């Protein structure tokens, strides 16, 4: 007996194996990573109800107004449903407002209006969210577009049904227009990075007339007042629900440009009812998710993969809108003007240059080219490339990794029409301190003179800055070479790419802060977090020589010495010195509890480290530890990450690694081979070509590559080239439970390093 089903399953003694996937979205959970707190992150995510890279996200809100942890899985009550633009709890939100249905009481206080809810009565998907509000016997459903959303509110029979619009504090305005069944207004709530004229203009359109209207200002609720402006305002509109389970439909949209543009954005919902919009959202997400098809994994592995892929397609978000003439426009978060062209925001390059942007360049180049135009516009409007944008320049993290984001896109074939502007921008950022510590290069004058940022000149995290600046110089060198720029430019940035050597301490075999007089800082504790390093210690940052691993190996005493050093990361106890912070920051605690020694996968600086075994002729060790990390550090559950899931970076690491390769050195043509997790992966490239990756005899035990074939020919290299991959190819791995210590060990098998170029 046979029947047509969405997926064929095979039961083994280990787990249920999925051989074929119908709709990837069915395996996505937006709740992964939501079981987090300030002191311990399992992702620090919220269940984003959104379209890919959408301008506006929505989220249920358990936290108080202004709390970056807007939704925590362990919470018992919901305070509302918030339009959000938050990239992370550490950056917090901007332009937010919320909606809350209620029955029986006109309540605007965020504590008093909150309702109990249960995950048992919650459906959380990218394109659809539903939850039952127990205190009101109301079901709320939400489905989004890029700039608008439908709410469907199912009430019991009552004369006291209400919908609250909370415009939040710090300056807001609300106007209720009963004749049009509409609420309009704006919120100015933000966490920084905005011009003085910043506003998010919103419009709500209801399908039923209002039975009554009240508005509130700060702590006072007043009936029959229709216009209100104060620090914190909102509106309550009432409805008479004649029959049990009657519904109120609300269309909502917003704009950073104008109230009129908000009305235009509302038209994204035209021509569809709620259910049709849900179906359209599912179709859009499936289209994007199916660009990477996987087969032959456990249910949990597939759920983890597609939940990670979903997270990889959220940021950076659109910050542009389409005007009445169909033209792309944006409100500039840099100068406050309304200008033509693309703009994207809500990403920190310190995190996302590593694998998120390389992943977009590989699989979604049509989106990447728009992002490059957005970066050029950011430079024109602010005089700088952002390093952390939310929505404008923010003063957080280190490095000058916009250079990597620009260079990697160009090297990977993203042909931006603004490349000359971008080249000017990366050079400007590489040689100057910016208006904020985290813009341009803090300590640029020292770096330009000495080749490093000194430890003793009151510039924090100086060793981390030096190492990242040296890599960013390499990215500029690569871009200059590809663009055919002057020999002077190429030589200048190539020479500075070697500045990492200035911080290598032969006595410890690790990177170490150095004083202005050329002496290493003392005393030195390689387990000390912060101080000379960023959210890590010397054991984490000593591997941040993306551009020249061979050169690093020579400093460490050769391949075998570096291999032993890599081994030590896992064999050392998870001890730490937290004296720089005064307490164990969450990244410290996450390393400590992971039981992987000094390996701190929950934070970005070390996420490429495992792949470095490929550079010293021990690829089988990379294969072992990559599987360990995928198996132990990720799951499809609310605690499914091992630290911050920063704007898709930690997710993109998993997506790349599960496919079987990873971009250790963005701004080169190479990916480094790992250990493919699935029996088969198919990449549907935007140029119409396909990459198939077949892994014979793959299993949890069979994690080692015995042999590899590229288009039918034996292939022993530890890297693959992007330029060859995008032509379409067939890769076959033969997997085994025994390492092949003769494969990937010759000089020609080793990946790119600057010093052996």
Q: Residue 2 pLDDT more than 60? A: no
| Tens digits of residue pLDDT in 111-153 | 999 999 999 999 999 999 999 999 999 999 999 999 999 999 9
Beta bridge partners of 59: 82
Q: What is the pTM of this model?
A: 0.96
Give the per-residue pLDDT at 123. 98
Read off the tokens for 606: 């070390």
Give the per-residue pLDDT at 19. 84
30 vs 117: CA distance, rounded Å: 17
Mean pLDDT for the stretch of residues 7-15: 41
Instruction: Please name the residue that has the structure tokens 């920051």.
Output: 585
Contact 561, 509 (CB under 8 A): yes
At residue 360's C-alpha, the angle toward residues 357 and 362, to 5°, is 110
Beta bridge partners of 237: 163, 213
Question: Could you tell me which residues come within 8 angstroms of residue 183 by beta carbon, excluding any fewer than 6 positions away?
Answer: 165, 174, 175, 176, 177, 202, 203, 204, 235, 237
pLDDT confidence bin for 12, thresholds 50/70/90: very low
CA dihedral 667, 672, 677, 679 (to 10 degrees): 100
Which H/E stretch holds residue 96? none
Kindly give the pairing relationship between strand 690-696 and strand 729-736: parallel
Side-chain-facing half-sphere of 101: CA atoms under 13 Å: 26
Kindly give the pairing relationship between strand 704-710 and strand 713-714: antiparallel
Q: What is the DSSP string of 337-379?
A: -EEES--EE-EEHHHHTTTHHHHHHHH-HHHHHHHHHHHHHHH
Q: Residue 1 pLDDT more than 60? A: no
| Tens digits of residue pLDDT in 564-575 | 999 999 999 999
Q: SS3 sequence, 22-44?
A: CCHHHHCCCCCCCCCCCCCCCCC
Going from the C-alpha of 525 to that of each of 14, 85, 510, 561, 609, the distances in angstroms are 44, 40, 11, 21, 21
Beta bridge partners of 206: 250
Contact 253, 194 (CB under 8 A): no
Q: SS3 sequence, 270-335?
A: CCCCHHHHHHHHHHHHHHHHCCEEEECEEHHHHHHHHHHHHHHCCCCEECCEECCCCCEEEECCCC
Give the per-residue pLDDT at 757. 83
pLDDT confidence bin for 105, thresholds 50/70/90: confident
Mean pLDDT for the stretch of residues 603-623: 98
**Pick from 225, 206, 203, 172: which is nearest to 65 by CA?**
172
Beta bridge partners of 61: 80
Contact 466, 453 (CB under 8 A): yes
pLDDT confidence bin for 5, thresholds 50/70/90: very low
pLDDT confidence bin for 85, thresholds 50/70/90: very high
Count the neighbouring beta carbons within 10 Å of the beta carbon of residue 532: 25
At residue 146's C-alpha, the angle toward residues 153 and 180, to 5°, is 50
Beta bridge partners of 662: 672
Read off the tokens for 318: 């659109």
Mean pLDDT for the stretch of residues 280-304: 97
Phi, psi for 37 (deg, rounded to 5) = -140, 175
Contact 626, 610 (CB under 8 A): yes
Mean pLDDT for the stretch of residues 528-535: 98
Read off the tokens for 35: 């079981």
Give the per-residue pLDDT at 131. 98
């Amino acid at each position: 007996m046979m029947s047509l089903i969405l997926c064929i399953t095979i039961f083994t003694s280990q787990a249920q194996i999925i051989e074929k996937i119908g709709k990837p979205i069915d395996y996505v959970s937006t709740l992964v990573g939501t079981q987090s707190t300030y002191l311990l992150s399992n992702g620090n995510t919220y269940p984003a109800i959104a379209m890919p890279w959408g301008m506006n996200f929505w989220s249920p809100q358990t936290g108080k107004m202004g709390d970056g942890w807007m939704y925590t899985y362990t919470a018992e009550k919901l305070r509302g449903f918030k339009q959000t633009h938050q990239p992370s709890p550490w950056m917090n939100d901007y332009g937010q407002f919320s909606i809350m249905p209620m029955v029986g009481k006109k309540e605007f206080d965020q504590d008093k209006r909150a309702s109990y809810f249960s995950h048992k009565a919650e459906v959380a998907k990218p394109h659809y969210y539903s939850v039952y509000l127990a205190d009101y016997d109301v079901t709320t459903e939400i489905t989004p577009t890029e700039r608008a959303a439908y709410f469907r509110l199912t009430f019991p029979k009552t004369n006291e049904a209400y919908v609250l619009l909370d415009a939040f504090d710090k300056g807001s305005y609300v106007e209720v227009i009963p004749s049009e069944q509409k609420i309009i207004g704006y919120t100015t709530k933000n966490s920084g990075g905005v011009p003085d004229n910043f506003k998010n203009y919103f419009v709500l359109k209801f399908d039923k007339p209002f039975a009554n209207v009240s508005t509130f200002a700060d702590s006072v609720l007043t009936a029959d007042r229709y216009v209100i402006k104060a620090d914190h305002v909102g509106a309550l509109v009432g409805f008479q629900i004649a029959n049990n389970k009657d519904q109120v439909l609300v269309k909502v949209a917003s704009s950073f440009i104008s109230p009129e543009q908000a009305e235009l954005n509302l038209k994204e919902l035209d021509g569809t009812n709620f259910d049709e919009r849900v179906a359209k959202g599912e179709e859009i997400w499936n289209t994007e998710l199916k660009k990477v098809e996987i087969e032959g994994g456990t249910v949990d592995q597939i759920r983890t993969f597609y939940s990670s892929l979903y997270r990889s397609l959220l940021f950076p978000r659109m910050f542009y809108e389409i005007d009445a003439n169909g033209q792309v426009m944006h409100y500039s978060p840099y100068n406050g003007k309304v200008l033509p062209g693309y703009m994207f925001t809500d990403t920190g390059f310190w995190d996302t240059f590593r694998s998120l942007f390389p992943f977009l360049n590989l699989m979604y180049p049509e989106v990447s080219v728009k992002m490059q135009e957005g970066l050029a516009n950011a430079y024109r409007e602010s005089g700088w490339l952002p390093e952390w944008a939310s929505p404008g320049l923010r003063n957080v993290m280190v490095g000058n990794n916009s250079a990597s984001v620009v260079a990697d896109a160009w090297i990977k074939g993203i042909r931006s029409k603004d490349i000359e502007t971008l080249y000017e921008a990366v050079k400007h950022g590489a040689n100057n301190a910016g208006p904020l510590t985290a813009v341009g290069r803090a300590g640029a004058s020292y770096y330009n003179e000495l080749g490093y940022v000194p430890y003793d000149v009151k510039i924090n995290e100086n060793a981390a800055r030096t190492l990242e600046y040296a890599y960013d110089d390499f990215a500029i060198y690569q871009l200059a070479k590809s663009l055919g720029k002057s020999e002077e430019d190429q030589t200048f940035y190539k020479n500075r790419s070697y500045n990492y050597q200035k911080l290598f301490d032969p006595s410890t075999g690790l990177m170490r802060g150095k004083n202005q007089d050329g002496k290493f800082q003392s005393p030195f504790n390689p387990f000390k977090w912060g101080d000379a390093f960023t959210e890590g210690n010397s054991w984490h940052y000593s591997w941040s020589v993306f551009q020249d691993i061979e050169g690093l190996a020579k400093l460490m005493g050769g391949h075998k010495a570096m291999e032993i050093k890599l081994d030590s990361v896992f064999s050392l106890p998870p001890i730490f010195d937290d004296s720089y912070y005064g307490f164990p920051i969450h990244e410290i605690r996450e390393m400590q509890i992971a039981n992987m020694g000094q390996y701190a996968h929950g934070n970005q600086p070390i996420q490429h480290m495992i792949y470095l075994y490929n550079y010293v002729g021990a690829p089988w060790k990379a294969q072992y530890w990559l599987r360990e990390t995928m198996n132990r550090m990720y799951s499809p559950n609310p605690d499914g990450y091992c630290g911050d899931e920063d704007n898709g970076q930690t997710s993109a690491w998993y997506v790349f690694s599960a496919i079987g390769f990873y971009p250790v050195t963005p701004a080169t043509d190479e990916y480094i081979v790992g250990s493919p997790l699935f029996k088969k992966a198919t990449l549907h490239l935007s140029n119409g070509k396909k990459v198939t990756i077949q892994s014979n005899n793959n299993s949890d035990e069979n994690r080692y590559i015995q042999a590899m074939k590229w288009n039918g020919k034996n292939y022993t290299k530890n890297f693959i080239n992007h330029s060859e991959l995008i032509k379409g190819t067939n890769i076959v791995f033969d997997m085994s439970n025994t390492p092949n210590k003769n494969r990937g060990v010759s000089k020609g098998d080793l990946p790119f390093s600057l010093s052996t170029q």
